Structure 1
Amino acid sequence: MTAAEDADAQAPLAVAPAPAGAGTPSAVAKPGTGHRPAAKSPLKIVAFDAARGRAVIAGPAAGTPPKGTGKDNHGERQGKHGGRGADHEQGSTPHRPAAVAVGDVLASAPVPGAPRGALAKVTEVVGTTARGTEVKTAPATLGALLGGATAKGQVPVDPATMRVEPLTPNVKVSWAKNGTVHFGPAGAQLPLGSLRVDVRAALPTVKTPAGTVDASATGFVQLSPEVDFSYDGQGTTTGTPGTASVSLAGDWASQWELKGRAAASTPDGQPVRVPFAKLHADPVVQVGVVPVVVNLDLTCYLQVDADGTVSVDVKQDVRGQFRVGGSYSRAKGWTPLARADLHGTPLTATATAAGRVKAALGAEASVGLYGSVGVTGTLAPYLRAEVSGTATGASNGTGSAVGKWAAYGGVDLSGALRAHLDVFGTPVFERSVPLGPLHHEWQLAGGEGAVRTPAQRP
């Protein structure tokens, strides 16, 4: 290796979104090349069956099938048993057989049969078909592709690529793609690169001798998510990196109001949880020439834990940043990354009668690579109110009190690392490693004593 080649090999790899309009990116690492990073490859995985460990790999498209690679018995067997996506390209332009060998490691963006990306090592070349070369595969690691390279960077997730599945009525979705102005509900302009989900939900009612007392929650969750990726394989002789990390991070904003008298109604007394939207994206992070497919899933939910006695009208605005992920070093192994720098501002806070209520508007998140979940986390900003005695009160100074009342905002963050983070080429831990629970609370309003104040007029 020349001095210039050695310098290029030591230079950090760029971390960036996969180029748009460039087709399905792929990369391949050849056996016997030491720990050099993978090279860009014209090969494409055109079908993948993870359950059987089979893949069809094609070279550049050709106008006619290579001689002797028509629909023989082998091709018929693949068409019948190739799994989801195996027949995806039947009738399309044939491909040349791929020049692959046992030991080759391929990484691919989402393809038929592998909608969350593919990372596989060739264990056997079976033969050729009209679509390309069929191979048997085994799971591979990023260490085999990135070798002794280093890489670090953050990649924003395009909100326009996130698929949103409403789970309840009265769910509205808005987004603002980078470079594109988009307006949310009621003409609210969203920051570029953000996704907003608005919800209005009825909560379990309280039955009284006079009838029922209703409660509802209204609000929104707004995210500007990004993927944080790092890898350092310098000095490795085993394919295990010195350090590595992956996490979901970004800006968080939410605002919601809890009104009425809510009651938990689950048979076992647990809080009532109402999922209202599922969000999913598979952004492709280009690390050098290697397409690293990050799988993101978020479920937005409302959760209420109440005794059905206190009546509230509590509203707050929460903003800040969050991070959920895992970090690896040879010295410490895998350790959790969990941060939630969120702060709340009270907009309304009133409470009447005695009792307690706690309501969260949060998101359950999972972060994985190539279809394997590596990190799970729950970020749950909440509202909480407690009233003792016969207190009533409001943040505008009205109310009366014999006892005390208080309204709080807060955030809980919890989750776990999963063994599937061995996709980096790191040692496998035997069980899930819990994220250290994070809890932070602030007071929105409150009062105590035996006082009565007149209502303030606007």
Structure 2
Amino acid sequence: MKLSRSRLLLPVLLAGVVIPSAALPATADTGGTGGRQAPPALSLGDGPADKQAVTAVRPSADGTNRRVEVGGARLTTYGPGHAVLSPGGNGGLKGSPTDLAVGDVIAAPATPAAPRGALVKVAAVHPQAGGAVSVDTTPATLADALGDGKADVRVPLTPADLKVESPANGGKVTGGQGFRFDVDVPLPAGVKPTAGHSSALTGHLDLKPEMLFSYERSHWYSLQPSKAAIGMSGDYSYGFAAHAEATATYDTGHQPLHIPAAEVNVDKTVWVGPVPIVLTLKVNYFYDVSADGKVTLDAEQNTKGRLEVGASYDAARGWSALSGPEPATTGEPARVEGSGTVKGGVGTHAELGLYGSIGVTADAMPYLRAAVHGSAGGRRTDGTRDARGTQAPASGAAPEGDWALYGGGELTGSFFARLNVFGTKVLDKAWEFPKVSYEHRLAGGQA
């Protein structure tokens, strides 16, 4: 059966963002009348020839940023409050080292000295021998580095971007872009596969991910961005199969999957205008299985859709969680027997951030839930009556109302003040996104 799910949570998080289309406040004039100009477009660039070279810019009072020439310098030392820029591959810093001044912003891609990149503001400059420059630094924001501008960036991830443990065993890269994850879930005592199946709970994910980044600021309107977003998205297909006999009451809770490919890390540098922006992602997979009673379940479901997960900012509303479009789900003919309930799923814990500073976390878990009332509910092919005297359907399904199979999902998340690298106002502590959940009947009655 095919279901279209409104406000549906997506099965797995490996990367997404829906960029909100809310307009600027009514006083904003983006057409340029009255001297108010729309912010310039910041396009996605290829970056410098030396992919480890830093960028330095100097913010100005009118909201624009001027490039400061540092001659392909690299960040060779980096730590809290201190950095050293050394000559790059072109022979050294051009001009005087004092070209760097207090208030300049330095943005560095991922390098050996700064594996998650760096975004700092110059507090003091100390020229050194050999063309190097030592600087005292304070934290900077993207608003400091980008100034006035508007960017909506979508960058497909390649196999080289996905740092996956043992990708040939448990997960693999598919084609020129994408990732496949297969899992055979370990289950507690009291659960065994049904006849003819080697595993009680299995799942797979095919995902072609891309990273998303959005930024917009008009200096006349605010020194802070009016819009921003961070996340990942991608077309996916997700399959889930449960062929289990549960004979005990238990609840595993969120248990990590200690198998290859159960952890994925991404550090992706993109150049927006001249500025390198390092997007980070960490994903861990987990499983969660619970049962109450003795239930036998043979059921499968498949979902196709587009994953979109992350957080967005709008000056009028602040930060909010993102949700994706409605996927389509199909369910195989199900068999449910016994008395009680059983629920199982494979989910993900994702952390999204900039320059290694995690700002958004989210847990998503799709699941199958079977509920059975009474000791009947098996497949009958002889047309006999059950214990209540109800004629069983000739197709072999349990009588309506005795059992039901549900497909559902849950999404929870948090936003952290550490994401203030965007330059937006945030709370001083983490706050929880409103929990989003859904559940739809796939088969059976109203058990």
**2:389 corresponds to:** none
Partner of 1:81 in structure 2? none
Report the Cα offset of residue 114 of structure 1. Answer: 1.7
Counterpart amino acid of residue 235 in structure 2: D
How many angstroms does 1:270 deviate by? 5.3
Q: CA separation of 1:272/1:298 partners in 2, compared to 1, >3 Å: closer, same or farther?
A: closer
SS at match of 2:160: helix
SS of 1:338's equivalent in the other structure is coil
Q: Deviations over 1:387-429 (max 9, x none)?
A: 1101334699424459611111122222122112211111131
- Find the partner of 1:419 among 406, 417, 442: 417
**Residues 205 and 40 (structure 1 numbering): CA distance in 2 closer, same or farther, change over 3 Å?**
farther
Distance (Å, rounded) in 2 between the aligned partners of 1:323 and 1:40? 37
Residue number in structure 1 paired with 2:438: 440
Partner of 1:273: 255
- Give matches, 1:29-178, under 5 Å: 29-32=57-60, 34-37=62-65, 39=67, 42-50=71-79, 52-61=80-89, 99-128=99-128, 132-165=132-165, 171-177=170-176
Instruction: For 2:88 and 2:98, locate their aligned partners in 1 and report how far apart those are by CA, in whole Å.
Output: 8
8 Å Cα contact 1:320-1:343 kept in structure 2: yes
1:179-194, aligned counterparts within 5 Å?
193-194=177-178
User: 2-side partners of 1:223 and 1:9: how far apart?
Assistant: 36
Aligned equivalent of 1:454: none
Any conservation in 1 of the 2:246–2:296 contact (CA below 8 Å)?
yes
Q: What whole-Å deviation, never above 9, does each CA across 1:405-455 have from its counterpart, x for those lacking one?
A: 111112222212211221111113123232232222222211489xxxxxx
- 1:199–1:400: structure 2 CA closer, same or farther, 3 Å change rule? same
Is the 1:390–1:403 contact (alpha carbons within 8 Å) kept by the matching residues of 2? Answer: no
Q: Does 1:27 align with 2:55?
A: yes
Determine the C-alpha separation between the residues in 2 that align with 1:394 and 1:26: 67
Cα deviation, residue 261, structure 1: 2.5
The answer to whether the Cα contact below 8 Å between 2:212 and 2:233 also exists between their aligned partners in 1 is yes
Aligned residue identity for 1:281:
V
Q: Identify unmatched segments of 5+ residues in structure 1.
A: 1-5, 67-95, 178-192, 450-458
Separation (CA, whole Å) in 2 of partners of 1:207 and 1:291: 50
1:55-79 per-position Cα deviation (integer Å, ceiling 9, x unaligned): 121233366x99xxxxxxxxxxxxx
Distance 1:7 1:402 in 2: 65
- Structure 1 residues 314, 170: CA separation in 2 closer, same or farther (over 3 Å shift)? farther
Q: Percent identity?
A: 33
| Alignment partner of 1:322 is 2:307 | yes
Give the number of the structure whose residues are more often strand, by fraction: 1
2: CA distance, partners of 1:417 / 1:290: 25
Secondary structure in 2 matching 1:204 = coil
Residues 390, 130 of structure 1: alpha-carbon distance in 2 compared, 3 angstrom cutoff? farther
Contact kept, 8 Å, 2:407 with 2:440, in 1: the verdict is yes
Deviates more, 1:21-30 or 1:292-301: 21-30
C-alpha distance in 1 between matches for 2:365 and 2:86: 46
Q: Which one of the candidate residues 219, 223, 245 is aligned to 2:203?
A: 219
What secondary structure does 1:241 align onto?
A: coil
SS of the residue 2:144 aligns to: helix
* Residue of structure 2 equivalent to 1:261: 245
Q: Equivalents in 1 of 2:222, 2:248: separation in Å?
A: 54
Cα distance between partner residues in 2 of 1:107 and 1:39: 12
Q: Distance in 2 between matches of 1:437 and 1:312?
A: 28
Kept after mapping to 2: 8 A contact 1:401/1:448: no
Change (3 A) 1:227 1:155: same
SS in 1 for 2:115: coil
**C-alpha offsets along residues 279-334 of structure 1, whole Å, 9 cap, x if unaligned?**
11111222111111110111122221223621212211122123222222322222
Partners in 1 of 2:398 and 2:82 — Cα distance?
72
Q: Which amino acid aligns with 2:315?
A: R
For normalisation by structure 2, the TM-score amounts to 0.77
CA–CA distance in structure 1, aligned partners of residues 48 and 186 of structure 2? 42
User: Which whole-Å CA distance do the structure 2 matches of 1:334 and 1:448 have between them?
Assistant: 39
Q: Which runs of 5+ in 2 are unaligned?
A: 1-34, 381-393
Q: Which residue of 2 aligns with 1:197?
A: 181
Q: CA offset at residue 350 of structure 1? A: 1.6
Q: Which residue of 2 aligns with 1:188?
A: none
Q: Is the 8 A contact 2:337 2:377 kept in 1?
A: yes
Does the CA-based 8 Å contact 1:264-1:305 persist in structure 2? Answer: no
Deviation at 1:278, TM superposition (A): 0.6
> Which structure is higher in RCO with an 8 Å CA cutoff and minimum separation 6?
2
Greater CA drift, 139-148 or 437-446:
437-446
Q: Out of 199-208 and 286-295, give the one that drifted further.
A: 199-208
What is the CA–CA distance in structure 1 between the aligned matches of 2:62 and 2:248, rounded to whole Å? 60
1:293 is matched by which residue type in structure 2?
Answer: V
Distance in 1 (CA, whole Å) between partners of 2:139 and 2:336 is 56
Q: Bigger shift: 440-449 or 250-259?
A: 440-449
Residue 387 (structure 1) aligned to one of 349, 368, 372: 372
Check the 8 A contact 1:206/1:308 in 2, yes or no.
no
Give, in whole Å, the separation in 2 of the partners of 1:60 and 1:7. 40
Residues of 2 paired with 1:196 and 1:263: CA distance? 32
Once the two structures are TM-superposed, the CA of residue 202 in structure 1 deviates from its matched residue by 2.9
- Alignment-derived partner of residue 295 in structure 1: 280
* Corresponding residue of 1:409: 407
Give the letter for the 1:171 counterpart. G
Q: State the Cα distance separating 1:7 from its structure 2 match.
A: 12
RMSD: 3.5
From the superposition, tell whether residues 349 and 39 of structure 1 become closer, same or farther in structure 2 (CA, over 3 Å). Answer: farther
Displacement of 1:343 in angstroms is 3.2
- C-alpha separation between the residues in 2 aligned to 1:351 and 1:40? 68
Q: How many residues align?
A: 391
